[in-house]
Amino acid sequence: MAKTDNWVLTKDKYLSTDEANRLRKRMEASAIVARSRGNTQAVRDWMIIDLALSTGLRVMEVSALKHGDIFIRRGESELVVRCGKGGKTGRVSLGTKLKQHLKEYIEWKQELGLGVGKDDYLFISQRGGKFTTRGLQLLFKQALQTAGLDTSYGFHALRHTYAVMLYKASGWNLRLVQKELRHSSVKTTQVYADVSDEDAEKAVNGLWND
């Protein structure tokens, strides 16, 4: 269990590595089948889950994301959050795999004649309008169910999962995680380092298993 001041990050607030991988593989497999059958929903849903797990965007930020906020041309690998918490703007780095996925998704939207102009929303609901945060929460619950995972997780669990995994992948670089999460204070980010301290304890306890 980890905490900063009065806030506690427990294991039920983020996905384990195995759970995250299971979710990703199941959603990707569903999208591949759906695309071959002309089903747009599963292709879009996989993009949403991949984006959230790979950037840590909040649900309201995913909802508000527009094509003009995505920068993936040659030499560019980032997105701009224009409607962040507290009305703040910020930038988030994009990994190579996510960048390629976004390119393929946008090309797919173009093939279907869906809007990809700078003011068009990246994700459109089944009703043809902007996704509501509630709609994204329900989508995530359905994704968890499809993957056979605990449906008690909320969409924000994807942000926590991203942060924990990024901290480990960066070689325990807390400042980098702070930057990518767009936290104004590193004290807020510290909660993810505290979670990883539990992993360190397990590691040292397993050093000598004679």
Q: Which of 82, 91, 156, 168 is catalytic?
A: 156
Q: Which of 3, 11, 25, 85 is catalytic?
A: 85
Chain centroid offset of residue 40 CA: 20
Q: Is 187 known to be catalytic?
A: no
H helix and E strand count, the chain = 8, 5
Dihedral of alpha carbons 102, 161, 153, 191, sign:
negative
DSSP states of 2-30 as a string? EEETTEEE-GGGS--HHHHHHHHHHHHHH
Q: Which of 58, 66, 99, 182 is catalytic?
A: 58
Record the tokens describing residue 163, joined without a space: 């942060």
Q: Is 58 known to be catalytic?
A: yes
Q: Is 97 known to be catalytic?
A: no
Q: Which of 24, 66, 159, 160 is catalytic?
A: 159
CA distance 209 to 27: 38
Q: Is 153 known to be catalytic?
A: no
Q: Is 85 known to be catalytic?
A: yes
Record the tokens describing residue 92, joined without a space: 């988030």
3-class DSSP state of 80: strand
Q: Which residues are catalytic?
A: 58, 85, 156, 159, 183, 192
